[in-house]
Amino acid sequence: MKLSLSTAAAPGGELDTFDEACRARGLEGIELVIGPGDDVPTLAARLAAARVRVVALRVETLDGIPLADLARLSGALSLPLSLPLGIVAGISLTDLARTFTEAGGTLLLGFATDLDQVLAVTTALRETNAPPDVGLAWELRPSSEDLGVSGAVLLTARERLGLVRLYGGGPEQRDQDGRGVGPLFVDLALSGYGGPIVLTPSRPEELPRWHKWLTSKNVVGCGSARATGEMELDVRDVEPKDRLGTILGAFRVLPRGATLHITLDHDPSCMYYALDESEPPGTFDFRKIGDGPEVWHAEVKRL
Amino acid sequence: MANLELDIRIVPPREKHPAIFRTFDALGAGEGFTLINDHDPFPLRRQFEATRPGQFQWTYVEEGPTVWRVLIEKSKA
């Protein structure tokens, strides 16, 4: 499974800079969005020269971009090309399949979390005996879709699923809390899916947040000390990967007898286990206060 | 069986641990999955020890600096 980021998160930027930022973030690849201004026939050579880790290609529109050029690029780079199902609605599946098979490319038809749509497209693929060069890309929009049907959608699409495109994740991860992302990715894991997962901004308004997320390395927690040496720490705006460090750091500078009051958006039990693993026995007293469902509090007293 | 992978980096904070335990609980004896995360999930290992003692094996496959991979297997009955 490769977690990747779409260049849609940083439109107009340099590819190697983008790839480098993704690397620093631990992302395993990038999805290259091809626009009407790109010269598709020369892209393969340019990408080879840039040595970036592209895992998939993407087009949102076919205006001014010949499909045959895209198929050849996909074949030359051995990378799948995904596009929204709607933009090829006027072309027969047989013709699409032939174009990509002849060029040695792979086409992934993007579908929404919509059971009727996925049933229609999988039936059409089966009835036309479409070769494996034509597969499916799941366009997953947790912020606006009902993921209640995602189990059935996964079951239907599973056999031809070559890509999952998640509109969100990254800096939008917390906004999608309770929208069904957790259970869906459990189902995806249990189904044995090992293909790419591409993150992409859910809407253009989110671009500044993605830019900040991609360029910042460390996020500092927002702790505030009280006069008594007590400390309040709200880690809800701290990235998950930086939370343990923030809390352990705050605990270590706490005077003896003082208490760290923590506010979180998840069950704080893991923080207890982190302290238990990292600190000498008998140096802290941990108390969980309340039990969600959206906000949790915990108190850590330094003994 | 196929090598199962759960990339927990995408899952919202509140749903991370429930998702991991749900995946583990769905496995059969002797099966496993690879957990992928952006930080060392060592507290999770302690939580596994506390809630599922003797029922799992924990093997680091990759240890940072940006990505951690842990193979979590369910012990044979």
Q: Of A174, A189, A197, which is closest to B33 when you measure between CB atoms?
A: A189
Q: Is residue B12 part of a domain?
A: yes
Distance in Å, alpha carbon of B35 to nearest chain A alpha carbon:
10
Give per-residue pLDDT as tens, A205-243. 999 999 999 887 654 444 555 556 678 888 888 888 888
Residue B40 and residue B64 in contact, taking contact as beta carbons nearer than 8 Å: yes
| pLDDT for position A283 | 93
**B18–A182 CB contact, under 8 Å:** yes
Q: Of B5, B19, B43, which is closest to A273 when you measure between CB atoms?
A: B43
Mean pLDDT of A4-29: 92
Residue A284's pLDDT band, with cuts at 50, 70 and 90, is very high
| pLDDT for position A64 | 86
**B5–A194 CB contact, under 8 Å:** yes
Chain A, chain B: beta-carbon pairs less than 8 Å apart: 124
Nearest 5°: the CA angle A100, A105, A106 is 90
Residue A77 and residue A57 in contact, taking contact as beta carbons nearer than 8 Å: yes
Range(s) within chain A of domains with CATH label 3.20.20.150? 2-215
- Give yes or no for residue A12 having a pLDDT over 90: no
The whole-angstrom separation of Cα A118 and Cα A126 is 12
**A266–B7 CB contact, under 8 Å:** no
Mutation choice for A interface testing from B15, B48, B49 by most A CBs within 10 A = B15
- Number of domains composing chain B: 1
| pLDDT for position A137 | 98
Bridge partners (DSSP) of residue A286 are: A300
| pLDDT for position A25 | 87
| pLDDT for position A228 | 62
DSSP state of A8: G
Give per-residue pLDDT as tens, A118-164. 999 999 999 999 998 999 999 999 999 989 899 999 999 999 999 99
Largest Cα–Cα distance in chain A? Answer: 74
CATH class for domain A2-215? alpha beta
- Give yes or no for residue A291 having a pLDDT over 50: yes
Q: Is residue B10 part of a domain?
A: yes
Asked, as a colleague might, if the bond just before B65 is cis with ω within 30 of 0, I would say yes
The whole-angstrom separation of Cα B67 and Cα B37 is 6
Q: Is residue B66 part of a domain?
A: yes
Residue A41's pLDDT band, with cuts at 50, 70 and 90, is confident
**A186–B6 CB contact, under 8 Å:** yes
Neighbours of A59 (CB within 10 A): 22
Dihedral pair phi/psi, residue A218, rounded to 5°: -125, 135
| pLDDT for position A220 | 46
| pLDDT for position A17 | 92
Mutation choice for B interface testing from A23, A243, A273, A284 by most B CBs within 10 A = A273
Reading phi first (left if > 0) and then psi (alpha if -120 to 50, else beta), residue A104 is in left
| pLDDT for position A106 | 97
Pick A193 or A219 by higher pLDDT.
A193
User: Domain of B30?
Assistant: 1-34+53-77
Q: Quick check: helix, strand or coil at residue B66?
A: coil
| pLDDT for position B2 | 55
Give per-residue pLDDT as tens, A241-266. 888 888 998 898 888 899 999 998 89
- Give yes or no for residue A116 having a pLDDT over 80: yes
Give per-residue pLDDT as tens, A159-182. 999 999 999 999 998 888 888 898
**A240–B4 CB contact, under 8 Å:** no
DSSP state of B28: P
| pLDDT for position A227 | 52
Q: Is residue B6 part of a domain?
A: yes
Mean pLDDT is lowest, of A71-75, A95-99, A177-181, A274-278, for A177-181
Q: What is the DSSP string of A167-179?
A: E--GGGTGGGTTT
Q: For chain B, which ranges sit under pLDDT 70?
A: 1-2
Q: Quick check: helix, strand or coil at residue A58?
A: strand
Mean pLDDT, chain A, integer:
90
Q: Domain spanning A222-302: which superfamily?
A: TusA-like domain (3.30.110.40)
| pLDDT for position A224 | 56
| pLDDT for position B1 | 47
Q: Is residue B44 part of a domain?
A: no
Range(s) within chain A of domains with CATH label 3.30.110.40? 222-302
Question: What ipTM does this complex have?
Answer: 0.84
The whole-angstrom separation of Cα A130 and Cα B4 is 27
| pLDDT for position A252 | 87
